[in-house]
Amino acid sequence: MMTDLRGAFFPLVFAAVAASGCSTSTTGRGAEAKGAALYIAALQGGLVGRIPGASLSKADTQRALEAEYRALEAAPGGQPVTWQGKDMTGSVVAAAPYQVGSQNCRQYSHTVTTGGREIASRGAACRNADGSWTPLS
Determine the pLDDT at residue 82: 97
If one counts the domains in the chain, the total is 1
Region of 22 please: left (phi>0), alpha (psi -120 to 50) or beta.
left
What is the average pLDDT value for the chain, to the nearest integer? Answer: 77
Determine the pLDDT at residue 7: 43
Distances from the Cα of 46 to the Cα of 1, 49, 64, 123, angstroms? 27, 6, 9, 9
Determine the pLDDT at residue 11: 41
Q: What is the mean pLDDT of residues 24-35?
A: 48
Determine the pLDDT at residue 46: 86
- What percentage of residues in the chain have a pLDDT greater than 90? 44
Contacts of 83 (CB under 8 A, 6+ apart): 60, 63, 64, 66, 67, 89, 90, 91, 92
How many residues does this entry show for the chain?
137
Determine the pLDDT at residue 115: 87
Dump the DSSP string for 76-92. Answer: PTT-EEEEE-SSEEEEE
Per the structure, the complete domain to which residue 76 belongs is given by: 2-135
The residue among 25 and 93 whose pLDDT is bigger is 93
The tens digit of pLDDT for each residue in 36-93 reads 677 777 787 888 887 776 778 889 999 999 999 999 999 999 999 999 998 899 999 9
Determine the pLDDT at residue 48: 84
